[in-house]
Amino acid sequence: MLQTDYLDESVAHFSGYLAIDEVYDGPFCILSVVDNRKYNRLSCRVLDHDPTGDDVRAYLKDFKEQLDQRGLTVHGITTDGSTLYPKVLKELWPDVPHQVCIFHILKEITKAVLHALAKLRKELRAQIPHQKRGRPKKQDQTQTRRLRRLKRRVAELFEQRYLFVRHHLSAAEKKLLKKLLRGQPQLRALRAIMDEVYRLFDRRCKSATALKRLAKLRQHVRRFKRLGRALTALNSPNLEKALVFLDDKLLGATSNAVERANRRFRKAQQSIYSVRTKPHLQQRLALDMNRELRAAKRAQTMKTLLHARSDPDSGHCCC
């Protein structure tokens, strides 16, 4: 769905950095290319089936031809962790850096850390001795209080599990986390692993430094056999690709530009209850792209009107 007139105007201020993603709507799939710095959709294509590598190759090949005709160069591409794109991007843009969205990577790692935490929490609950039914005897009250403390601690691990994956913690949250980690080296190691993961994406270092940190982190995780099996997400090859942005300040670390366009499409589709067809989806996307194309001019018009109304010499002041 490449429209020459639209593309001519949308690439007038082309940044050279792309974000590519797909969104599904029933049996249909919409492939989209968005300028990852200007946040405007450059191209899209509607498919009536799940995309394959050949579909993505044909679509991006057509888009690349349009860019080549206009003498435009791509400097960086950001996608999610889908397997549809790496091989095709390597064929079409062999020398262009390919960044994997760090939000998708952190989502998988966070999920793995919470899974490991749940496993440790179940082990702690299994260590609590079974208490007899009824009122405890006087000589067993000390043991009863101890069991209650252990049960309360397991419950707190569930209620405050977000403390193990949140990036920035307040002073109160750090104090609470310190209480939960007391006497639990496995839990302390789990939080330390998450801190090291966040350090990997620090913009102040280069990818070479981050890769060295990643190698040390993987070696550290292997020391904890129970945690290592649960944290297999740290061995994903996409993790290295998520560090490419550290060598280019203009390369987007996330694919939020195209994700935002997809969210806007889903929201518009929620108000449609009729049977959806491929032409209807193409018309909806054309309408959305037309709105994006006139966004800058619309904003300038509003700014001019507001300035005219606020200017006392214009005769339009509301005061």
For residue range 237-256, what is the model confidence (pLDDT) as tens digits?
889 999 999 999 999 999 99
DSSP 144-206: HHHHHHHHHHHHHHHHTGGGGT-SS--HHHHHHHHHHHTT-HHHHHHHHHHHHHHHHT-TTS-
Q: How far apart are CA 76 and CA 19, in angstroms?
A: 9
- pLDDT of 229 reads 65
Task: Report whether pLDDT(57) > 90.
Answer: yes
- pLDDT of 237 reads 86
Q: What is the mean predicted confidence (pLDDT) over 102-113?
A: 91
pLDDT tens digits, one per residue of 146-182: 777 888 888 888 999 999 999 999 999 999 999 888 8
Q: What is the mean predicted confidence (pLDDT) over 91-105?
A: 93
pLDDT tens digits, one per residue of 60-90: 999 999 999 989 999 999 999 889 999 999 9
The single-letter code of the amino acid at 307 is H
Higher pLDDT, 117 or 127: 117
Q: How far apart are CA 113 and CA 107, in angstroms?
A: 10
Inter-residue contact 9 to 70 (CB < 8 Å): no
- pLDDT of 208 reads 93
pLDDT tens digits, one per residue of 190-249: 899 999 999 999 988 899 999 999 999 988 888 877 676 667 888 888 899 999 999 999
Q: How far apart are CA 43 and CA 154, in angstroms?
A: 51
Phi, psi for residue 47 in degrees, rounded to 5: -115, 145
- pLDDT of 2 reads 43
- pLDDT band of residue 282 (cuts 50, 70, 90) is confident
The model's pTM: 0.80
- pLDDT band of residue 315 (cuts 50, 70, 90) is low
pLDDT tens digits, one per residue of 1-45: 446 667 777 787 889 999 999 999 888 999 999 999 988 888 889
- pLDDT of 274 reads 65
- pLDDT of 1 reads 43
- pLDDT of 154 reads 86
- pLDDT of 149 reads 80
Q: How far apart are CA 48 and CA 53, in angstroms?
A: 15
